[in-house]
Structure 1
Amino acid sequence: MPTPTARTLFVSDIHLGTRDCQAALLASLLRRVRPERLYLVGDIVDLIAMQKRAVLPPDQQRLAARLLRLARGGCEIIYIPGNHDAALRRLCGLRVHRVRIERRAIHVTADGRRLLVSHGDEFDTHVRIAPWMLALGDGMHQFVLALNRWCNRARGLFGLPYWSLASALKRRVGAAQRYVAQFEQAALHQAAREGLDGYVGGHIHKAGFRERNGVLYCNDGDWVEHCTALLETPDGRLQLIDWRGAVIAREPVVERVARPDEVVPATAEPAARGC
């Protein structure tokens, strides 16, 4: 399979320290794709889950070591903590083992577009879902992830590749689709409000592109269900790739809309600059 050439790679929601982390698949991708710059867009280490039970098998330890080797080898790595590794936000502005930790970032693509990069949990308060539904959804999500593990163990016995049962089930749940749509709206509003060309994030475990009024939304997915990443090519084009490096989606063609006097409704407060 051809290996994509990467100027930049965005990955999020790895959830190191849990049983659901697909560390071996991400390591497989990083053997195929060698980016010049790597954004770790939150929930890389699941510090919340590790307070109850820490799971760090050899494949997760090898992945962590590979990331550090990338940094030592000259790859610029920017770590933007999410809600599951929020304790690391106190380190924003520091460089640890050649990894720069930031609350958020503005990424400039090779073709000159400016993209807001954040984990995305700052938009949670703007998603109108009843608290009891969120709690129920979280419980069901954990159950589905357990089914996902067993499903793929069985597939492995028959030599079949990874397949996301969790993703297939969520596509059929209306409440999950409404949550994703509202999250995308909030992210698009925030990027437009700041006069930027687009947004890159994770958090909701739903990879995809969306465009509105010349502003591009990109979600790089996760590494517990979808096993996807967002890749920027040397000419600045954005693609979603899977753990094998195969392109599964390309950004839509966006006609840049001049917005000198446009006032965008503020559905999300500006993300904090710095810590």
Structure 2
Amino acid sequence: MKTQFKTIVISDIHLGTKGSKAKEVVRFLKKHKCDNLILNGDIIDGWQLKKSGTWKRKHTRFFNRILKMMDNDRTKVFYLRGNHDDFLDQILPLEVGNLSIQKDLIYESRGKKYFVLHGDIFDSITTNLRWIAYLGDIGYTFLLWLNRQVNYHRRKKGLPYFSLSQYLKGKVKSAVSYIDKYEEELAMMAKAKGCDGIICGHIHKAESRIIDGIEYHNSGDWVETMSALAEDHDGNWQLIFYNEIDFCRPEPDNVIPFPESEAYKTVAFDRKNDDLDSPPIRI
């Protein structure tokens, strides 16, 4: 039995890399149905594919699953451009049936508005100093390789999965400071746009919390955390972690509920133009 949600947000799958958990995200999507699916950036890792990345059959299966959701479940899919799939700049905005490819959007649900974007626009290194970002990507790729070696030996000893990079992010003061500033800047942008919340990805850190009265939601990633953000039909947001799902049970007991909001009757999607300050376009 599938779990039904109104909206599911997934980001940072990085298809085309060794670290991508393509099989896991496909299995997750087979269990969870939704009316709207937001692919919030870095779904395909164009940076790695240009260098040493490899496209495998399991990566194609991800898009096969998306097509089946669109065809069988009438799911509306919104693919938002990230920094690693910036090649989409050549074609967006684009609409084909239930698929829309764009930079960002405003999602309205239960009387609240959420600004949805990948989040790299607020990363000055990624935006302005691309060559430094590439060097950082090389270092992160090495860290993921090291993480695989560590977890290979942990599995042999019967130990659970351990995220080395998440551990380092929590221990290195500069990383903690960067993440805090990133989250605060996004919350400020949502407030400036007249939105009640922000939905993003990019930093591979799943989170749902209130920042200065603004709902901050980060869907995490499918390289380490293997997490998704989901909204039920009552307007409640939840973080779902793949490693905590019991696939033998009809209903997952792994969700982290976000505080309930007052129920309203209007639900709509708005899409932004290339300019962040331009008025939204009704879909």
TM-score with structure 2 length normalisation?
Answer: 0.80
Paired residue for 2:167?
168
Q: Is the 8 A contact 1:117 1:201 kept in 2?
A: yes
Paired residue for 1:193?
192
Q: Is the 8 A contact 1:209 1:252 kept in 2?
A: no
Deviates more, 1:131-140 or 1:233-242: 131-140
One-letter code aligned to 2:65: R
One-letter code aligned to 1:62: R
Paired residue for 1:263?
none
Paired with 1:203 and 1:146, the residues of 2 have a C-alpha distance of: 19
Paired with 1:231 and 1:77, the residues of 2 have a C-alpha distance of: 14
Q: Deviations along 1:58-113, whole A, 9 cap, x unmatched?
A: 2222122111211222110000010111111232231247421111111112x221
Q: Is the 8 A contact 2:75 2:98 kept in 1?
A: no
Deviates more, 1:150-159 or 1:23-32: 150-159
Paired residue for 1:65?
64
Higher relative contact order (CA 8 A, sep 6+): 1
Q: Is the 8 A contact 1:214 1:254 kept in 2?
A: no
Q: Deviations along 1:144-192, whole A, 9 cap, x unmatched?
A: 2112222344455567665433222322221111111010011000000
2:254 corresponds, among 243, 247, 255, to 247
**Post-superposition offset of 1:54:** 3.0
Secondary structure, in 3 states, of the residue corresponding to 1:69? helix
Please list, as runs of the form range in 1=range in 2, the aligned pairs for 1:93-242 lying within 5 A after superposition: 93-96=93-96, 98-109=98-109, 111-125=110-124, 138-155=137-154, 162-242=161-241
Which structure 1 residue ranges, 5 or more long, are not aligned?
A: 256-269
**Post-superposition offset of 1:213:** 3.2
Higher strand share: 2
TM-score with structure 1 length normalisation?
Answer: 0.82
Q: Is the 8 A contact 1:79 1:100 kept in 2?
A: yes
| Number of corresponding residues | 256
Paired residue for 1:271?
276
Q: Is the 8 A contact 1:10 1:40 kept in 2?
A: yes
Q: Deviations along 1:99-142, whole A, 9 cap, x unmatched?
A: 21111111112x22110000001101299xx9999787555422
